Amino acid sequence: MLVVTNTIKIKEGHAEAIAQRFGASNGVQEMPGFVRMEVWHGSPKEGAEELKICTVWENEDAFKGWTSSDSFRQSHRGAGGNEAILGASLDKYELLVSRTPDK
Domain boundaries, the chain: 2-94
SS3 content of the chain, % helix, strand, coil (to 5): 25, 40, 35
Specify whether the CB–CB gap between 49 and 41 falls below 8 A. yes
Rounded to two decimals, the pTM is: 0.85
pLDDT category of residue 54 using cuts at 50, 70 and 90: very high
Q: Which percentage of the chain shows pLDDT scores above 90? A: 70
Handedness of CA 62, 93, 40, 49 (dihedral sign): negative
CA angle 78, 12, 80 (to 5 degrees): 15
- In words, the CATH class of domain 2-94 is alpha beta
What is the distance in angstroms between the CA of the first residue and the CA of the last residue of the chain? 24
